[in-house]
Structure 1
Amino acid sequence: MTTEFGTGQATGDSGDAAAMDAIREAMADISASEPDFCQIFCSPAYDYDAVLWGARSVVGSDTEIVGCSSSGEFTETGSGNGTVTVGVVSSDSMRFFSSISTELSADPERCLFEAVHDLPASGDPAVDGYPHRTIINLHDGMAGIGNKVTRLTEQYLDDEETPVVGGSAGDDLQLQQTHVFRNDRVETDAVVLTLIAAEDALPVTVNHGHEPISEAMTVTRAEGSTVYELDGRPAFEAWRDAIREDAMETYDIDVDELEAGSEDLVMLLGRYELGIESEPESDADGLASRIKTFIESKLISTTGYNIRWPGHTTDTEGPLDFAVTVSEGTEVVVTHSNKSDQVYAVRNAANNAVNELRGGSVAGGFVYDCACRAMILGEDFDDAVDTIHSAIDAPFAGFETYGEVCSADEDYTGYHNTSSVILLFPE
């Protein structure tokens, strides 16, 4: 039994031409005339319908195609912006199935229930002989409910051991509208799921490069993705006090002189994000009273917490604005990360994924990497790409997300910001 994996990346004047070039490049690395699966990461610079048409014209009629708009794309050869990037898989030890559901914001419960139940369940003859299941979840990055999307996906699956990976679609940081794709369909406010049924388990890992620099604080007033108060104080004021000393020492920035909308403010919001050890268990049904407690010292573990980016904050007083819901009662800590921390984190994620194969060879993989990491790394983003390549020694395709999905690590909840998620395919 073998699995082959190929990647391609292209630009051009039209979406169909760019997709065709990228697919042809990827297909050169596999022997099958038609791949079983194709995942596309696409800049909003292109017409998505044209991209899908171009992809279909090359892969053939039976290939399962999924994908999303992005905020930067990369393969093992390096990163790019304004590209169509693809990864194709051909395997006689896996089967691929996909589904799509719309109206995510208005009715996430129905949307995810429909998407999950349009996939073969355990025991379905279609997956007989393929005991290991993995779900790829791609969803609208502007819906602002990535944590709920992930939790509902897990809730509706008939096997709680099935890992869920993926990311929130992007739009080159325009923060206007994001899209997901399935075969010939392009939708916004939607989710696309892919079921990979395999003979062997697929390695899935996640890591981030942030370390706590403050004591824990409680979200005492919040609404949706806006946090108004931490420990009864204006949220921005509490965050600013927590980073004051470190920001001066590390970046020579006086946080009391920050101006609304300034480059320094944007940079610091990306470096000093909030860490959450757990989120309200009942967030999916609107109740926020039960919170998993932090360790007794009131300092969060350096491994077991999720990152939340307050990057929608534009003012230097009042609330902090996030890309995802943060509920009242959640305990948070201010964290910090720099370039070397980010490279080290992705190295750990890649090495951990390879180690899960216990000496087996890697055919290739997909990487779901946060756009915030790209902002931190800047021109050094390719250092992280090179680090992944040196660890897995195989082709991979990835995109810069508005949030990452990975439910495979018990140290974390399923939704992340400023993290790297890696999914590998054994040969």
Structure 2
Amino acid sequence: MIGVGRGNNPDPREAGAEAARRAVAALVPGMAPSWALLFCGGKHDPAQVLAGLRSVVGVIAVVGGSAAGAITAAGFGYSGFEVAVGLFPSDIGEPAILVDDGLLDGEGAAGRRLGDLLVNVVDDGRVVFLFYDSVASTSPPRLHPASPLVEGIYQGLGSRRPHLVGAGTLTDMNLSDGYVFDGTRPRKHTAVAVVLPPSLRAETTILHGCVPVSTFMRITGIDGAEVMELDGRPALDVLEGMLGIEVGEDQTGALSLMVTLGEKHGDPFAEYDENRYVNRLILQASPERRSITLFEPDFRLGSVVQIMSRDNGLMVQSVRDGVRSMNERFAGRRPVMALYIDCAGRAGARSGSEIEEAEVLLDEIAIPAPLLGFYSGVEIAPVGDAHSRSLDWTAVLTILHGDPAGGDPQGRDHDRGAPDTGP
């Protein structure tokens, strides 16, 4: 199995070393790690965390990046001091690490360049982790959107369909900054594709709990991420009518806590399956323009969407049901790691949920493998088919296996006192 360790030391070097020591202790005795997956809380200097980790395991390749918080079987937190690492033993094999540092020159072009590299090293089903830093600038505030990056990758891939899972990284829930590890050091404005060794395969489920509360509607007016019209009516009029409220200038952010706009993939009349929905958070509404602005600019003129209810109770139930389903799928099997990528907005301090959904994950998961998780800005996973897409307000649970192909802003930390090797 992969060795997972967690640190929560305010000293960044010691936090990295602490997490590394615990991960080494979880490996089979005598098995040396050959590369690492590392996630660091935003209050840490990433270079110092990396130095601490390498003081324990030596100079190995390290990928991953910043995180608003971390989750392992030992507990979870988002104080900013969390460090979580997964050490991959040498017998699993080496990854191919592909890097493009041109996000500032265009996310779509960066994705196409990565896709051009990936097409030479992947086949259908090959597991690829994709990490990029979400924050393009803070003044003015601008994010690197994931949808053109992912779309560009598929343009380069042609007909190839790897199992693509990943995230946009953040240092905290306030979108202050972000970085990725490119195998050697922390980088900005960079996308990193990690092609896992062919000995590893993956199964992924999407957990969000958003359910449709409207009929299908067509986007009849849109400019980038700003939706002007739904079925020929002002978009904000449609949402206000559905919700029975009037959105004032000081309430435009309230919509993000109530509804999303969702696009269903596959058969539109098939039974509800959250794994087939791409939901877009509503960043803001304009009472003057009667429009809404989404988190990503990937919906198009003519896209068919639904209004989706965003509810904390549904979110928690989605995690409970989805994890139980994965438990059943892996009963009697021996997976090597569970990776949990969790939207930072779902943490209790941001969502207002009285129940931390990460706590539900830890209570329910019974897969016999170490758990490594982190809080992200954007999640990326296969939706409905083999095509991966960027997601909002979502958790992505990926189980790596060797089967043949077939804390809070105030410093809260939830230590469960469990070992890092698995529940």
Classify the TM-score, shorter chain: 0.7 to 0.9
* Runs of 5+ unmatched residues, structure 2: 136-142, 403-423
Matched, 1:138 2:131: yes
Matched, 1:165 2:165: yes
Quick one: which of 5, 9, 13 aligns to 1:8? 5
Matched, 1:183 2:186: no
CA, structure 1 residues 319+187, in 2 after alignment: closer, same or farther (shift >3 Å)?
farther
Q: Would you say the 8 A contact 1:95–1:198 is kept in 2?
A: no
**Amino acid of the residue matched to residue 33 of structure 2?**
P
Corresponding position of 2:359: 383
CA, structure 1 residues 231+105, in 2 after alignment: closer, same or farther (shift >3 Å)?
farther
Alignment of 1:208-227 (within 5 A): 208-227=208-227
**Amino acid of the residue matched to residue 293 of structure 2?**
D
CA, structure 1 residues 45+195, in 2 after alignment: closer, same or farther (shift >3 Å)?
same
Distance 2:119 2:51 in 1: 26
CA, structure 1 residues 320+120, in 2 after alignment: closer, same or farther (shift >3 Å)?
closer
CA-to-aligned-CA distance 1:40-76 (integer Å, 9 cap, x gap): 2222211122222222222222x32111222222112
CA-to-aligned-CA distance 1:317-346 (integer Å, 9 cap, x gap): 533222211333222211114333223322
Corresponding position of 2:309: 336
Corresponding position of 1:313: 284
Corresponding position of 1:238: 238
Query: Which has a greater percent of strand?
Result: 2
Q: Would you say the 8 A contact 1:144–1:324 is kept in 2?
A: no
Distance 2:32 2:369 in 1: 20
How many residues are matched?
386
Alignment of 1:279-318 (within 5 A): 295=268, 301-303=272-274, 304-310=276-282, 312-313=283-284, 318=290
- Structure 1 stretches (4+) deviating beyond 6 angstroms? none
**What is the identity percentage for the equivalent residue pairs of Structure 1 and Structure 2?**
23
Please state how far the C-alpha of 1:405 moved relative to its aligned partner. Answer: 0.7
* TM-score computed with the length of structure 1 as normaliser: 0.80
Alignment of 1:151-162 (within 5 A): 151-157=151-157, 160-162=160-162
Distance 2:120 2:320 in 1: 34
Please state how far the C-alpha of 1:134 moved relative to its aligned partner. Answer: 0.4
Q: Would you say the 8 A contact 1:52–1:184 is kept in 2?
A: no
Please state how far the C-alpha of 1:212 moved relative to its aligned partner. Answer: 0.5
SS at the partner of 2:193? strand
Distance 2:17 2:98 in 1: 24
**Amino acid of the residue matched to residue 30 of structure 1?**
L
* TM-score computed with the length of structure 2 as normaliser: 0.81
Corresponding position of 1:286: none
* Runs of 5+ unmatched residues, structure 1: 124-129, 245-254, 279-291
Q: Would you say the 8 A contact 2:40–2:65 is kept in 1?
A: yes
**Which is worse superposed, 185-194 or 368-377?**
368-377
Alignment of 1:202-213 (within 5 A): 202-213=202-213
**Amino acid of the residue matched to residue 329 of structure 1?**
G
Please state how far the C-alpha of 1:196 moved relative to its aligned partner. Answer: 0.6
CA-to-aligned-CA distance 1:132-159 (integer Å, 9 cap, x gap): 6200011122344212222322332376
Quick one: which of 357, 365, 382 aligns to 1:407? 382
**Amino acid of the residue matched to residue 262 of structure 2?**
G
CA, structure 1 residues 327+177, in 2 after alignment: closer, same or farther (shift >3 Å)?
farther
Alignment of 1:36-115 (within 5 A): 36-61=34-59, 63-81=60-78, 82=80, 83-90=82-89, 92-115=91-114
Q: Would you say the 8 A contact 1:208–1:346 is kept in 2?
A: yes
**Amino acid of the residue matched to residue 67 of structure 1?**
G
CA, structure 1 residues 65+370, in 2 after alignment: closer, same or farther (shift >3 Å)?
same
Q: Would you say the 8 A contact 2:23–2:85 is kept in 1?
A: yes
CA, structure 1 residues 340+261, in 2 after alignment: closer, same or farther (shift >3 Å)?
same
